[in-house]
Amino acid sequence: MYWADGNLQVMVDGAEKFHGHLCEGLVLGVRMALAALRELGIEDSKGPAGKDLVIFVETDRCPVDGIIAVTGRTPGKRSIKMMDYGKPAATFIETRSSNCVRVSARADFNEKVGSFAKSCFPRMEGKPAKVAAMAMVPENDLLRLQRVGVELCARDLPGKSHRIHKLQRWAMKSR
């Protein structure tokens, strides 16, 4: 499939390899992450600039893998926090500057994506049409971006574990 935005295409291709299939939710996550990085002024979150990025995701579904694939942040690095509220939304926090943006799918995004698919891809049907529409629908019809304030406590930050000698086990320093 060819999309006009080559960068998005590359990101979605990489996300598909990571996620194991191509779906609307994955493309939504990729677009959420790209919008957040742009808003926070982070060009390459997989490089040094990304080390200060912490993301709270409000779903445990396909968009999460799109966000991980684009940002390089992972639960294992303690830089993705899974808060399953069942919402297609995530808050991206640049911890050094405390810049935060919450990116969520608009309440009517399904209708917008559906009508975009009908008008732009009348000969396509089903999932391929929805995936293409999700990739190409204007950002204003898909996402809501809100500047928010988030206070992180020490236990939310990525950090090192240390050995608790008496108990002979490892724990995060902040625990």
State the Cα–Cα distance between residues 109 and 70, nearest whole angstrom. 21
Whose tokens are 């809100």? That residue is 146
Determine the residue type at 75. Answer: P
- Please report, for residues 14, 41, 174, the alpha-carbon distance to residue 157 in angstroms, rounded to integers and kept in the order given: 27, 20, 9
The site for Zn ion (CB under 5 A) is made up of 23, 25-26, 62
Pick between residue 93 and residue 117 the one whose CB is nearest to Zn ion. 117
CB of 131 to Zn ion, least distance (A): 10
CB of 23 to Zn ion, least distance (A): 3
Chain residue at closest Cβ approach to Zn ion: 62
Pick between residue 69 and residue 103 the one whose CB is nearest to Zn ion. 69
Pick between residue 42 and residue 64 the one whose CB is nearest to Zn ion. 64
CB of 154 to Zn ion, least distance (A): 34
Pick between residue 53 and residue 134 the one whose CB is nearest to Zn ion. 134
State the Cα–Cα distance between residues 164 and 175, nearest whole angstrom. 11
DSSP per-residue codes, 79-119:
-EEE---S-SEEEEEETTTTEEEEEEE-TTHHHHHHHHHHH
CB of 28 to Zn ion, least distance (A): 10
